[in-house]
Amino acid sequence: MQIADNSVASFHYTLTDDSGQVIDSSEGREPLTYLHGTGQIVPGLEKAMIGRAIGDQFKVEVAPAEGYGVHHPELMQAVPREAFQGVDDIQPGMQFQAHGPQGVMHVTVTKVDGQTVHIDGNHPLAGQTLHFDIHVTDVRDASEEELAHGHVHGEGGHHH
């Protein structure tokens, strides 16, 4: 069976950046399992998975626009420290939820400069080319319940 819309696929992966540094990997864990065609993995990887079958091993390079998006400088802002009420020790790398015009967004503190906190609303991997090393371990038809719920059930997926 080949991966297509409404199939459930499982795969092991190693994700690296342009310099070959490992960003994430399923090594030592269960494979990632997802419902194909529902946007549960980045678009460029989902496109590369189409037609793959159990045992397939391949590498794919995903451009920022098909991964976590391009980097938007306008999502980098300097805000007053008092916007972080209840947080005494603000450090670079800390992540918070902020409310913006499009709703809730996640921001990362990039720098603290006196009473000013610099934040970045971009995904940490925005603007980066993603290099995936993939090994497909399973492909099956999704159940009616999985299709109705829009996600995988059982082993490797969601448990109700």
- Do 78 and 64 belong to one domain? no
Question: The whole model's pTM is what?
Answer: 0.82
Residue-wise pLDDT for 30-86, tens only, equals 999 999 999 999 999 999 999 999 999 999 999 999 999 999 999 999 999 999 888
- Do 23 and 40 belong to one domain? yes
Residues of the domain holding 91? 73-120
CATH number for position 114: 2.40.10.330
Q: Residue 45 falls within a domain, yes or no?
A: yes
Q: Residue 160 falls within a domain, yes or no?
A: no
Place of tokens 């099956």: 140
- Do 83 and 17 belong to one domain? no
Q: Residue 50 falls within a domain, yes or no?
A: yes
How many residues in the chain? Answer: 160
Strand partners, 141: 7
- Do 15 and 34 belong to one domain? yes
Q: Residue 159 falls within a domain, yes or no?
A: no
Domains: count for the chain = 2
What is the C-alpha to C-alpha distance for residues 130 and 39, in angstroms, rounded to an integer? 17
Closest CA to 62 of 122, 5, 13, 132: 132
Residue-wise pLDDT for 29-46, tens only, equals 999 999 999 999 999 999
